[in-house]
Amino acid sequence: MASHNQKWLDKITLAEAKQYLAEGIHFAKGSMAPKIQAVVRYLEAGGKEALITNPEEYRPGVEW
């Protein structure tokens, strides 16, 4: 369940993701932080885009 201070991030840049991680207050350590860290590593290794979602929200062929 989302708390009142959570914000939906539809799209963020690599720089924003790294900044949010560095600030250490935006992503829960056992929840979103590992996912964001994995995306950062993927993009820094040459990946072009990444998507974090859950199976209920994913639709093949979705346009980002």
Residue 51 lies in a domain: no
The secondary structure of 14-53 as a DSSP string is HHHHHHHHHHTSSS-TTTHHHHHHHHHHHHHTT-------
Residue 33 lies in a domain: yes
Reported confidence tier of residue 1, pLDDT bands at 50, 70, 90: very low
Residue 6 lies in a domain: no
Is residue 58 a contact partner of residue 52, using CB atoms and an 8 Å limit? no
pLDDT digit string, tens, across residues 17-31: 999 999 999 988 888
The amino acid present at 46, given as its one-letter code, is: G
Residue 56 lies in a domain: no
Residue 53 lies in a domain: no
Count Cβ atoms below 10 Å from residue 56 Cβ, excluding itself: 6
Prediction pTM value: 0.76
Residue 18 lies in a domain: yes
Domains of the chain: total:
1
Reported confidence tier of residue 50, pLDDT bands at 50, 70, 90: very high
